A and B are shown apart, each in its own frame.
Chain A
Amino acid sequence: MSLQKLEDNYLITLVGPPNSGKTTLFNYLSGKNYKTVNYPGATVEYSVSKVQKKFNLNASILDSPGIVSLSSHSPDEQVSIDSLYSHPTYGIPNLVIVTVDSSQISRHLLLVKQLIQSKFNVIVALTMVDLLRRKGFVVSPLILSVELNCDVVPIDGRSGSGVDELIKAAEQNLQNNKLSGLINPVPFDSNINVEYLLGLYKEIEQIEYKAVSKIIDNGDQIDINNANKRLVLLNTELSRKINLPDQTSLKIDRIILHKIWGIVLFFLAMAMTFTSIFWLAHPVMNLVDEAFGFLSYEALNILGNNWYGNFIANGIISGTGAVMIFIPQIIILFLILGILEDTGYLARGAMLIDKPLSKIGLNGRSFVPMLSGFACAIPAILAARTIPNKRERFLTIFIIPLMSCSARIPVYALLLAYIFPPEKEWIAGITLAGIYILSIAGSVSVAGIVNKLKNKIITAEDNSSFILELPTYRLPKVSVVISNSYHSTKVYFKKAGPIILLLSGVIWFLTYFPDYSPKVDTNNLNREQKIELQSSTRLANSYAADFGKIIQPIMSPIGMDWRVGVALISSFAAREVFVSSLALIFKVTGDKSTLQTSMLREMHKATIGNTGKTLFTPATIAGLIVFFIFALQCMSTMAVSRKETGSWRIPLIQFFIFTFSAYCFAIIVVNGLRILGIN
């Protein structure tokens, strides 16, 4: 064990049932300096952080996925339990803090009891005391503490009240524990009989009767006498009231979970989410666009039209700028996902869609991973760990790359802006919604087909189950949602940024050299025309053009030439690179208009070879869009898919099937539209 490594630096592990306020407490203690991201809908990896300096406790704190008991039913729960017994780098925790929702004491104490019986060093953090109070009850931490034989501290992870007391208790506990020696937890036998489980629940109910009491009329005092009396009387009427769910949530659920309205609202919510990505982001996108256009123009002006001026203006500024324009859309997507998650709607969505999904071999629990797939496939594939059934989990992972991830937004937005003029922007919005529907339809059909093939592609079989808690509705805390979206966007940026920058450099090099200073007849030409002629001559003789001629035969069937081919190949590093590559290949810096406008103008002028035929037509644009809907052009996705499924089998099948069918569909669409006379 590497416990020595942490000698003065204690390890505190946070565990708790889902929705017990565990991650809120973790964020408060860590000040959000955690290492791994929290994926929408679920924590599926552990996050480690130092306890914030202001608490004055030299300890690391570990957040892990929510668990109901010490026996796991899904891989994310296994992560939690494994980290308790022997974390690969930190060993056994010196202290386990268990979050317990006070309004659900009779459920949440099960885990506490199991942890104490397994000889962990436990402190209980009692959350959501206000919720219990709203029901008209209070809980006595003192009685709980005596009954459980461990410290119990009431806290509010959102406001931070009680956290100081929790830290004090933890400090005291760690000091005492240092004297009493190492912790040696007893492995939990997950096959222990049902009688044991029922016995445990009986004990918990007894504790609940003793510790929870009704608030008396004038004030918030705890009525100990009444509590003691109840011990004898076992007033079932009272206990029933303690165990009523939040009444406001019940009222809201009457509409949200209504048999008909529920599903109507569900589809409305999804449609709103995806269309708002387009129109909400627009004003901000214009600003970013203008800023980059201006920067690129000024850079060329200041540095001059030579190789380094060109490299900075075209290679770096235009290349990265072409993608940065779409950051606002990505932020909005993360914001909406965050709001949906924070209110408690996602679990309801999962319930509403469970039956339809189970028909195609998926599970209601596939919903959150699939939805996060619209942001990015990588956290989405990790989030699939919450699906207990292996077959359903693998099938979910299989189709996630088909979800229209945020890296595709730049591509679609550019291509749609090409077909639809700015005054018809709403049509572009509707078309984008259509693309999302097509991507969902595609993934659903693939799931259905793979499911029909039974064991040909995914070889696993076990009990299919859907048991999910629907958490109390809460108003999302604005600061939490904003900081989470900021965090997710930063992660996106860090991941995509270097690739975009690097490939922009590479593409720039390939399109600029070897004939970097072509001799053109400059008579009778003004400066702008001269630059334009120079760059097109340079491009026609470039390395990229040489390479492009090799792949021309593959590009012809989808109505494209080698220039798009080069951009397409580069998009296999990351989809957004397609846009920056096009920007480099088609955009000629030299005027003052915005980046996108001048790029679109150049695209409009582009023709195939010497034929004079326009390169980008509605038919070829549609073909490109279809290609991007289906193709798996993301190496990181393949790597995560391999990690989560345990072999290269599934990622390779995904890659070849998705990319090959994308190419075929593109051929069909381009030539089909041409036959129909749309060109």
Chain B
Amino acid sequence: MRTAADLNFGETGIICGIEGSHPSSRRILEIGFTPGQEIELISKAVFNDPLAFSVRGTIIAIRKNEAACIKLI
């Protein structure tokens, strides 16, 4: 399954769910990554980690392993 961590630079995706087993999953939801939202990969830092996404009108930086639990349609 494709996750937010698989997005390419400038590519958009629609969230279908969050992997619940990751300790950060609740925070990821709270900050606005909820099912149905469209996100776009804005930037990757050196070593491709963390990643910055546009979501709900802002830009959020998040580690790659955390982005990997954002499942896309």
Query: Using an 8 Å CB-CB cutoff, how does the interface string of A370-383 with B read, 1 for contact, 0 for none?
Result: 00000000000000
Whether the pair A107, B45 counts as a contact (CB closer than 8 A) is: no
Instruction: Give A565 Cβ to nearest chain B Cβ, in Å.
Output: 46
CB-CB nearest in chain B for A353: B45
Chain B, interface SS category: mixed
Within 8 Å of chain B (Cβ to Cβ): is A259?
yes
Whether the pair A354, B45 counts as a contact (CB closer than 8 A) is: yes
CB-CB nearest in chain B for A110: B30
Known: A257-B42, A351-B45, A355-B46. A463 touches B32 (CB 8 A): no
Within 8 Å of chain B (Cβ to Cβ): is A250?
yes
Interface size class of A (residues with CB under 8 A): 35 or more
CB neighbours (8 Å) of B20 from chain A are 194
Query: Using an 8 Å CB-CB cutoff, how does the interface string of A329-352 with B read, 1 for contact, 0 for none?
Result: 000000000000000000100111
Within 8 Å of chain A (Cβ to Cβ): is B62?
yes
Whether the pair B35, A463 counts as a contact (CB closer than 8 A) is: no
Query: Using an 8 Å CB-CB cutoff, how does the interface string of A459-477 with B read, 1 for contact, 0 for none?
Result: 0001101111111100000
CB neighbours (8 Å) of A107 from chain B are 31-32, 55-58
CB neighbours (8 Å) of A240 from chain B are 38
B2-43 contacts to A (CB < 8 Å): 18, 20, 23-32, 34-35, 37-38, 42-43
Whether the pair A259, B46 counts as a contact (CB closer than 8 A) is: yes
Whether the pair B61, A244 counts as a contact (CB closer than 8 A) is: no
Whether the pair A470, B60 counts as a contact (CB closer than 8 A) is: yes
Complex CA distance for A235 and B4, rounded to whole angstroms: 24
Whether the pair A364, B50 counts as a contact (CB closer than 8 A) is: yes
Complex CA distance for A106 and B32, rounded to whole angstroms: 8
> Please, how many residues of chain B have a CB less than 8 angstroms from a CB on the other chain?
37
Whether the pair A262, B46 counts as a contact (CB closer than 8 A) is: yes
Within 8 Å of chain B (Cβ to Cβ): is A201?
yes
Whether the pair A467, B42 counts as a contact (CB closer than 8 A) is: no
Known: A194-B26, A245-B58, A259-B45. A470 touches B50 (CB 8 A): no
CB neighbours (8 Å) of B37 from chain A are 243
Task: Give the tally of cross-chain contacts (CB within 8 A).
Answer: 136
Q: Please tell me which one of the listed residues B52, B54, B56, B62 contacts residue A257 in the complex, with CB atoms under 8 A apart.
A: B52
CB neighbours (8 Å) of B26 from chain A are 71, 194, 197
CB neighbours (8 Å) of A110 from chain B are 30, 32
Query: Most B CB atoms within 10 A — which of A69, A253, A468, A471?
Result: A468
CB neighbours (8 Å) of B50 from chain A are 351, 354-355, 364, 466
CB neighbours (8 Å) of A259 from chain B are 43-46, 48
Instruction: Give B56 Cβ to nearest chain A Cβ, in Å.
Output: 4
Whether the pair B47, A355 counts as a contact (CB closer than 8 A) is: yes
Within 8 Å of chain B (Cβ to Cβ): is A530?
no
Complex CA distance for A622 and B48, rounded to whole angstroms: 40
CB neighbours (8 Å) of A354 from chain B are 45, 49-50, 61, 63
Complex CA distance for A489 and B18, rounded to whole angstroms: 46
Complex CA distance for A356 and B38, rounded to whole angstroms: 30
Instruction: Give B63 Cβ to nearest chain A Cβ, in Å.
Output: 5
Known: A198-B35, A351-B61, A465-B24. A253 touches B52 (CB 8 A): yes
Whether the pair B66, A467 counts as a contact (CB closer than 8 A) is: yes
Whether the pair B61, A68 counts as a contact (CB closer than 8 A) is: no
Whether the pair B61, A470 counts as a contact (CB closer than 8 A) is: yes
Whether the pair B66, A262 counts as a contact (CB closer than 8 A) is: no
Instruction: Give A276 Cβ to nearest chain B Cβ, in Å.
Output: 25
Instruction: Give B41 Cβ to nearest chain A Cβ, in Å.
Output: 11
Q: Please tell me which one of the listed residues B28, B31, B44, B59 contacts residue A245 in the complex, with CB atoms under 8 A apart.
A: B59
Q: Please tell me which one of the listed residues A71, A242, A244 contacts residue B54 in the complex, with CB atoms under 8 A apart.
A: A244
CB-CB nearest in chain B for A249: B59
Whether the pair B46, A245 counts as a contact (CB closer than 8 A) is: no
Within 8 Å of chain B (Cβ to Cβ): is A173?
no
CB-CB nearest in chain B for A106: B56
Complex CA distance for A263 and B66, rounded to whole angstroms: 22
Whether the pair B57, A104 counts as a contact (CB closer than 8 A) is: yes
Query: Using an 8 Å CB-CB cutoff, how does the interface string of A513-542 with B read, 1 for contact, 0 for none?
Result: 000000000000000000000000000000
Complex CA distance for A116 and B66, rounded to whole angstroms: 30
Instruction: Give A147 Cβ to nearest chain B Cβ, in Å.
Output: 18
Q: Please tell me which one of the listed residues A257, A465, A471, A472 contacts residue B23 in the complex, with CB atoms under 8 A apart.
A: A465
Within 8 Å of chain B (Cβ to Cβ): is A103?
yes
Complex CA distance for A624 and B9, rounded to whole angstroms: 50
Whether the pair A467, B24 counts as a contact (CB closer than 8 A) is: yes
A302-352 contacts to B (CB < 8 Å): 347, 350-352
Instruction: Give B30 Cβ to nearest chain A Cβ, in Å.
Output: 5
Q: Can you list 17 A-B contacts (CB < 8 A)?
A: A104-B56, A106-B56, A107-B57, A197-B29, A198-B29, A240-B38, A243-B37, A257-B42, A257-B45, A257-B52, A262-B46, A355-B47, A465-B24, A467-B24, A469-B61, A470-B59, A470-B61
Closest 3 CB pairs of A and B: A463-B23, A257-B43, A351-B61
* Chain B contacts to A: CB under 8 angstroms: 18, 20, 23-32, 34-35, 37-38, 42-50, 52, 54-63, 66
